[in-house]
């Protein structure tokens, strides 16, 4: 279950951002500041120009590990006035539900696939044995 909670935490942040941007109570100027801030952070992460080049193992990721949380903290400062905790809780419950249904669906698909494979093997054996 620890693996599921890690995936849930990883997927909750983008969905929380989506819920914030979709909320009609939040002013459009605040939404634009958040979108521009996120775009700048994403551009820094994927750009080839870094403080420490990315081709240096582990040290190249160090500046990304520092810059991204600082950028997110700045976005939080520049975009005040909305309830991020409530949105995050809602996003977390939705993501958990989606992950559990995905796991359940995969398990059912595997079981059905094994059942079909078993039937196929049964009919092939019946045909060969005569």
**Cβ atoms of residues 81 and 30 within 8 Å:** yes
Neighbours of 10 (CB within 10 A): 10
90: left (phi over 0), alpha (psi -120 to 50) or beta: alpha
Q: What is the pTM of this model?
A: 0.52
Q: What is the DSSP letter of 130?
A: -
Residues in the chain: 130
pLDDT tens sequence across 110-125: 999 999 999 999 999 9
Residue 43 has pLDDT above 90, yes or no: no
Q: What is the DSSP letter of 19?
A: H
pLDDT tens sequence across 47-105: 777 666 666 677 767 777 777 778 777 777 776 666 677 777 888 888 889 988 999 99
Residue 26 tokens, joined: 């939040």
């Amino acid at each position: 279950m620890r693996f599921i909670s890690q995936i849930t935490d990883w997927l909750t942040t983008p969905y929380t951002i989506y819920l914030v941007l979709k909320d009609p109570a939040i002013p459009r100027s605040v939404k634009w500041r958040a979108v521009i801030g996120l775009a700048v952070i994403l551009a820094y992460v994927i750009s080839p120009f870094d403080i420490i080049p990315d081709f240096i193992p582990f040290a190249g990721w160090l500046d990304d590990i520092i810059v991204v949380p600082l950028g997110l903290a700045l976005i939080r400062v520049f975009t005040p006035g909305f309830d991020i905790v409530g949105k995050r809780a809602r996003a977390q419950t939705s993501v958990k539900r989606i992950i559990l249904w995905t796991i359940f669906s995969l398990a059912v698909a595997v079981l059905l696939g094994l059942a079909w494979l078993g039937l196929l093997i049964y009919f092939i054996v019946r045909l060969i044995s005569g």
